[in-house]
Amino acid sequence: CTDLEGNLHEFGSQWKTKDCWDCSCSREGIGCCTSYATPVSFDEEKCEAIFDKLTCSYKVVEKADHAKECEVNAWVG
């Protein structure tokens, strides 16, 4: 399999992309999905979701003070 960056992968191999996608190669081709959950139910007026590419995860914090985390009621992914 050849990925979007032109890298070759053996059948049965798995890897994580720099954009936090989990991918695998089979005889049918490459399949990828996100390796993280996305927050979908939180106070969007008071809070914001910030994605960290180093940990491949979201943190939901207050817009006025990023040191304060917000409650998240639901995640998808």
C-alpha span between 77 and 75 (Å, rounded)? 7
Looking at the 3D structure of the chain, how many domains does it have? 2
Q: Which domain holds residue 61?
A: 38-76
Residues of the chain with pLDDT > 70, as a percent, come to: 100
Whether 30 and 6 map to the same domain: the answer is: yes
**Is the pLDDT score of 77 beyond 90?**
no
**Is the pLDDT score of 29 beyond 90?**
yes
b/e map 38-58, b = 16+ CB within 10 Å: ebeebeeeebbeeeeeeebeb
**Is the pLDDT score of 27 beyond 90?**
yes
Whether 71 and 54 map to the same domain: the answer is: yes
Whether 42 and 53 map to the same domain: the answer is: yes
The model's confidence at residue 4, banded by pLDDT at 50, 70 and 90, is: confident
CATH number at residue 52: 2.20.25.590
Whether 43 and 66 map to the same domain: the answer is: yes
**Is the pLDDT score of 49 beyond 90?**
yes
* Mean pLDDT (the chain, rounded): 95
CATH number at residue 3: 2.10.70.10
